[in-house]
Chains A and B, each alone.
Chain A
Amino acid sequence: PAFGLFIFTIARDPLRIIILIAGAFFWLVSLLLSSLIWFIAVKASDPQDERLQKGLLIFGVMFSVLLQEAFRFLYYKLLRKAIEGLVALSEDGCSPISIQQMAYVAGVGFGLMSGAFSMINLLADALGPGTVGIHGDSQLYFLTSAFMTMVLIFLHTFWGILFFHGCEHRRWWEIAAVVIMHLTVSGLSFCNPLYVGSLVPSYLLMAAAAAWAYLLSGGSAQNLRRFVLCKC
């Protein structure tokens, strides 16, 4: 689905593609830094202690989430500057791309990159021989991974919109909400392999974020109804 989003909404406009790749790049850098921190922590600690390792991993995840949000903020700053440049350069005085579109594309960029990193090795392994969960792990590993990744990609997209909107209008509580949501979702994933605990709330959160982002983007129940009715 995320790839479909990409093809239908982003691939047409070259500017959006650039913003997308830049968004992916920013996410990648944040991941790099967070894994650097984690790596140092691991090297500095005892590799034998299981609980400690797991605790470090959790710490790494949280830190990574915070870093991701920080980089999202940095990316927002960069895009603001870019928009000013674009406005100055455009012929009719308004930018060819609005900040909301940029927010959307940035969110998709983040999401795609995070999804890709989460899934791609899994997919590559899935092509090879083997049985899932043969050692007593869950047999739904691939399925749940896929769903989780998808929900995360969508969430990143919505968070992008919410985050940028919050920065635009200086509503700090929106930004804080995004950060907290991100932390929650990551935290929920710690419940794995108890999938009920992680997948269901994640989807609920995603629906909430989707509705919120939709409202923020100017949509409303009426629009939705009109859209659905027209199609019929």
Chain B
Amino acid sequence: MTATVVNCCSDLGRPKEARWNFCRQAILTFNSFIRKESWRVPFQHWKKKGPFCVELSDSQRTVPMTELSAHLPQFQHGQLTENFPDTHLSNTQESMASALFNTDQNDNSERRRHDNSERRRNDHAESETNGQPQNNIQQVVEQDEEEDEELTLKYGAKHVIMLFVPVTLCMVVVVATIKSVSFYTRKDGQLIYTPFTEETETVGQRALNSILNAAIMISVIIVMTILLVVLYKYRCYKVIHGWLIISSLLLLFFFSFIYLGEVFKTYNVAMDYITVALMIWNFGVVGMICIHWKGPLRLQQAYLIMISALMALVFIKYLPEWTAWLILAVISVYDLIAVLCPKGPLRMLVETAQERNETLFPALIYSSTMIWLVNMAEEDPEAQRKSKNSTYDKQARRTQNEDAEADDGGFSQEWQQQRDNRIGPIESTPESRAAVQALPSNSQTSEDPEERGVKLGLGDFIFYSVLVGKASATASGDWNTTLACFVAILIGLCLTLLLLAIFKKALPALPISITFGLVFYFATDNLVQPFMDQLAFHQFYI
């Protein structure tokens, strides 16, 4: 992270000192969002607009040190939301960048909260350690607001790419595995959540079975989501944390063991159990540490991608054809409903978290950058919760059948909605903290505008990969279909980010991409494929 910070500095260049300072301040406040000066905005101007945006830095400063505890969030909370409208209104941009930026701020997801609280603490700690008066910062901030917006615009595209890369990587891993390891395309049975088989005599029977399967799966997901909300409402954090830890354990060890075994079988590599045990043990332990605690950003990202891919592979293997497509379609609809309807469980979760002014447990979120958290303590529970959620998601079906799928669904849905395009790194590393502390007090340091990252729920990764993997596994058009679905998903992601910028509120990441993906899959498979086949046969070129 220090490296990134340094890079950012050089990037900005010395002449842009003001902006740099501003950015740093902004970033600090927002937990990687660039926020416009919330600081100088008078308290009463702030209106309650939405989730916390990040600006807490101002309020934080005013808060005494003692507020580092949970009270802070509450205090901050009000400020945060108020802040939000301020920056929000000032933002006139429609570009993706700005959208991202703003949307991030607006985003209600827990993650945001999560980040916000983190941020707050950070800022708070920051100001404390630095002991700088906020005045100059505020002035600088004001000028920088406009610059800020422009900066965000510039970096908007960068954020999109920061999301493109991991999604692409995950899909590539899944497709590569599907193509080479035959285990994942063999039908070895079905999940307990999809009890109806699809090997029926008539088409009607098959359709009915798949509809029933999808209905069961979706209801399981809904139940799990509601359970999660209830648990959260009644503050049963321990339960949730334990759940997440177990699921991540299962995912990291058991699934990867199976995966490794299958890969070895495919390539006919002889391997003894001791070596395998050692490898899996190392992989799992490092993964647990990275995801739940601290670790290098790249490693954490890699682990998150790997577990998303593993989960997607499991889905591809154990869901029968029509059920899988139906589930994808229904899940995107559910995603849409749960995020946008006022009574949706996701929304309730977010609101509850907002009321309590605390960060929701860390759900699966993939974050592309790191933020420096001065306060490690806060970060830990967050990171833990976050990872737990993710692992929770991944929780194997094996151990808790009904849980696994539901958790997976519930979490992924929720988290992805909430987390949609959030900016803000989650973890902090000792270096970043050191870097932060080493920075001059005036600069809130830690974050460089370029450091801002984007967050996307891991459930999104999983379902995108499921779509592409299924396309590559079962399409007659093979690579053409896979490629078409891939491009469709990426474009859907772009559009989602754009909409996020325009609407500035939490949006689900699934619907648009999955819709595009499904449309392109069926269209390419049935329409384009024969056409291309004929063209290739005659060697015509279009």
B154–A32 CB distance below 8 A = no
Q: A53 vs B147: C-alpha distance in the bound complex, in angstroms?
A: 60
A35–B149 CB distance below 8 A = no
**A89 interfacial by beta-carbon distance below 8 Å:** yes
Given A17-B164, A28-B520, A54-B538, output 4 extra A-B contacts at Cβ < 8 Å: A21-B487, A89-B98, A121-B478, A189-B539
Q: Please indicate the chain A residues that have their CB under 8 angstroms from the CB of B490 in the complex.
A: 21, 25
How far is the CB of B416 from the nearest CB of chain A, in Å?
21
**A86 interfacial by beta-carbon distance below 8 Å:** yes
**B142 interfacial by beta-carbon distance below 8 Å:** no
How far is the CB of B251 from the nearest CB of chain A, in Å?
30
Partner of B153, one of A38, A89, A193: A89
Q: Please indicate the chain B residues that have their CB under 8 angstroms from the CB of A102 in the complex.
A: none
How far is the CB of B214 from the nearest CB of chain A, in Å?
26
- Of residues 66 through 120 on chain B, the ones whose CB sits less than 8 Å from some CB of chain A are 93-95, 97-98
**A74 interfacial by beta-carbon distance below 8 Å:** no
Q: A113 vs B486: C-alpha distance in the bound complex, in angstroms?
A: 12
**B207 interfacial by beta-carbon distance below 8 Å:** no
B531–A39 CB distance below 8 A = yes
Q: A192 vs B98: C-alpha distance in the bound complex, in angstroms?
A: 50
A124–B479 CB distance below 8 A = yes
Which of B41-49, B124-132, B521-529 is the contact stretch? Answer: B521-529
1/0 per position for A1-29, CB-CB distance to B under 8 A?
A: 00000000000011101100110110010
Partner of A88, one of B93, B151, B477: B93
Residues of B within 8 A of A (CB): 93-95, 97-98, 146-147, 149-151, 153-154, 157-158, 160-161, 164, 477-480, 483-484, 487-488, 490-491, 494, 520, 523-524, 526-528, 530-532, 534-536, 538-542
User: Of residues A14, A39, A141, A148, which shows the largest number of chain B Cβ atoms within 10 Å of its Cβ?
Assistant: A14
Q: Please indicate the chain A residues that have their CB under 8 angstroms from the CB of B95 in the complex.
A: 85-86, 89
How far is the CB of B415 from the nearest CB of chain A, in Å?
25
- Of residues 97 through 115 on chain A, the ones whose CB sits less than 8 Å from some CB of chain B are 113-114
The verdict on A18 contacting B160 (CB below 8 Å), with A61-B542, A148-B541, A192-B540 known, is yes
User: Of residues B95, B164, B490, B542, which shows the largest number of chain A Cβ atoms within 10 Å of its Cβ?
Assistant: B542
Q: Please indicate the chain B residues that have their CB under 8 angstroms from the CB of A91 in the complex.
A: 146-147, 150-151, 154
How far is the CB of B25 from the nearest CB of chain A, in Å?
18
A148–B539 CB distance below 8 A = yes
Q: A57 vs B534: C-alpha distance in the bound complex, in angstroms?
A: 8
Query: How many residues on the A side are at the interface (Cβ–Cβ under 8 A)?
Result: 55
B541–A21 CB distance below 8 A = no
A39–B530 CB distance below 8 A = yes
Partner of B149, one of A68, A89, A190: A89
Q: Please, which residue of chain B has its CB at the minimum distance from the CB of A21?
A: B490
Q: Please indicate the chain B residues that have their CB under 8 angstroms from the CB of A53 in the complex.
A: 534
15 contacts between A and B (CB under 8 A): A15-B157, A18-B161, A32-B523, A32-B528, A34-B531, A35-B531, A38-B531, A39-B527, A53-B534, A57-B540, A65-B542, A86-B153, A117-B483, A120-B480, A186-B540
A90–B540 CB distance below 8 A = no
**A185 interfacial by beta-carbon distance below 8 Å:** yes
The verdict on A14 contacting B542 (CB below 8 Å), with A21-B490, A89-B153, A91-B150 known, is no
B487–A24 CB distance below 8 A = yes
Q: Please, which residue of chain A has its CB at the minimum distance from the CB of B494?
A: A18
Q: A192 vs B541: C-alpha distance in the bound complex, in angstroms?
A: 10
A190–B540 CB distance below 8 A = yes
**A36 interfacial by beta-carbon distance below 8 Å:** yes
The verdict on A31 contacting B97 (CB below 8 Å), with A65-B542, A118-B541, A121-B480 known, is no
Q: Please indicate the chain B residues that have their CB under 8 angstroms from the CB of A65 in the complex.
A: 542
B524–A32 CB distance below 8 A = yes
A31–B528 CB distance below 8 A = yes
B491–A118 CB distance below 8 A = no
How far is the CB of A169 from the nearest CB of chain B, in Å?
26
Q: Please indicate the chain B residues that have their CB under 8 angstroms from the CB of A90 in the complex.
A: 150, 153-154
- Of residues 42 through 93 on chain A, the ones whose CB sits less than 8 Å from some CB of chain B are 42, 53-54, 57-58, 60-61, 64-65, 68, 85-86, 88-91
Q: Please indicate the chain B residues that have their CB under 8 angstroms from the CB of A32 in the complex.
A: 520, 523-524, 527-528
User: Of residues B94, B153, B161, B487, which shows the largest number of chain A Cβ atoms within 10 Å of its Cβ?
Assistant: B487
User: Of residues B94, B153, B164, B520, which shows the largest number of chain A Cβ atoms within 10 Å of its Cβ?
Assistant: B153
**A204 interfacial by beta-carbon distance below 8 Å:** no
Q: Please indicate the chain A residues that have their CB under 8 angstroms from the CB of B98 in the complex.
A: 89
Q: A35 vs B532: C-alpha distance in the bound complex, in angstroms?
A: 8
How far is the CB of B73 from the nearest CB of chain A, in Å?
33
**A132 interfacial by beta-carbon distance below 8 Å:** no
Q: Please, which residue of chain A has its CB at the minimum distance from the CB of B529?
A: A35
Q: Please, which residue of chain B has its CB at the minimum distance from the CB of A144?
A: B539
User: Of residues A38, A61, A89, A141, which shows the largest number of chain B Cβ atoms within 10 Å of its Cβ?
Assistant: A89
Q: A36 vs B487: C-alpha distance in the bound complex, in angstroms?
A: 19
B158–A14 CB distance below 8 A = yes
A118–B161 CB distance below 8 A = no
B160–A14 CB distance below 8 A = yes
Q: Please, which residue of chain A has its CB at the minimum distance from the CB of B483?
A: A116
- Of residues 187 through 231 on chain A, the ones whose CB sits less than 8 Å from some CB of chain B are 189-190, 192-193
Q: Please indicate the chain A residues that have their CB under 8 angstroms from the CB of B542 in the complex.
A: 31, 34, 61, 64-65, 68, 114, 186
Q: A225 vs B94: C-alpha distance in the bound complex, in angstroms?
A: 44
Q: Please, which residue of chain A has its CB at the minimum distance from the CB of B161?
A: A14
